[in-house]
């Protein structure tokens, strides 16, 4: 039987062993953060997408001060110096509309909420049929990037007020 020479493992000092143990602990902690990162809120990882300085979002219809009879209306959305594309599409100077109803602008460094006051048009829509109860309402648009996060600088419309009357 033939013996192979196995190189000897160099002797490590106790200081070297302590450093190695510390590196293993740090490596495991980093791995836990990377792997477990999915459990953290998405906003913790939100990055801003740049918008051109002359970008402008606006409501084409209804006009500010409009009186709507019956509560059902079309909202037509406009955008200058940028393009509209569906959510998830990463392309420079593009985004998709979000309609804010009876609410203020959301946090500009986080994903835009999705609820009855924050309507997402992630398929790239530029008009939408909505229904509102009788009374005064505010409408405002904000453009979101591929992850529904406002651009930097944010692109949003003037807030308008409409009144819905019963038929």
Question: What are the pLDDT tens digits along the chain (167 aa)?
Answer: 554 454 444 454 555 555 445 444 444 443 343 444 433 333 333 568 999 989 999 999 999 999 999 989 999 999 999 999 999 999 999 999 999 999 999 999 999 999 999 999 999 999 999 999 999 999 999 999 999 999 999 999 999 999 999 87
As given in the structure block, the two tokens for residue 80 are 């200058």
Name which of 55, 49, 48, 64 is nearest 140 in CA terms. Answer: 64
Whole-number Cα distances in Å, 31 to 21, 23, 27, 39, 41:
15, 12, 6, 13, 18
- The label of the residue with tokens 């219809």 reads 61
Please say whether the beta carbons of 48 and 153 come within 8 A. no
DSSP 121: -
* CATH for the 56-165 domain, from 3.30.70.1520, 1.10.1130.10, 1.10.510.10, 2.60.40.10: 2.60.40.10
Please say whether the beta carbons of 117 and 102 come within 8 A. yes
| Segments making up each domain of the chain, as ranges | 14-45, 56-165
């Amino acid at each position: 039987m033939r013996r192979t020479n196995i190189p000897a493992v160099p002797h490590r000092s106790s200081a070297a062993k302590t450093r190695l143990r510390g590196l293993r602990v740090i490596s495991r902690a980093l791995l836990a953060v990377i792997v477990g990162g999915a459990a953290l809120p998405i906003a913790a990882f939100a990055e801003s997408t740049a918008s051109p300085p002359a970008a402008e979002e606006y409501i084409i219809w209804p006009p500010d001060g409009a009186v709507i009879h019956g509560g059902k209306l079309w909202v037509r959305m406009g955008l200058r110096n940028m393009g509209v594309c569906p959510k998830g599409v990463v392309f420079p100077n593009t985004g998709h509309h979000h309609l804010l109803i009876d609410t203020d602008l959301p946090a500009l460094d986080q994903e835009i909420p999705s609820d009855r006051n924050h309507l997402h048009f992630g398929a790239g829509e530029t008009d939408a049929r909505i229904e509102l109860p009788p009374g005064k309402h505010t409408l405002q648009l904000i453009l979101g990037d591929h992850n529904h996060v406002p651009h930097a600088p944010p692109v949003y419309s003037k807030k308008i007020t409409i009144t819905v009357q019963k038929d």
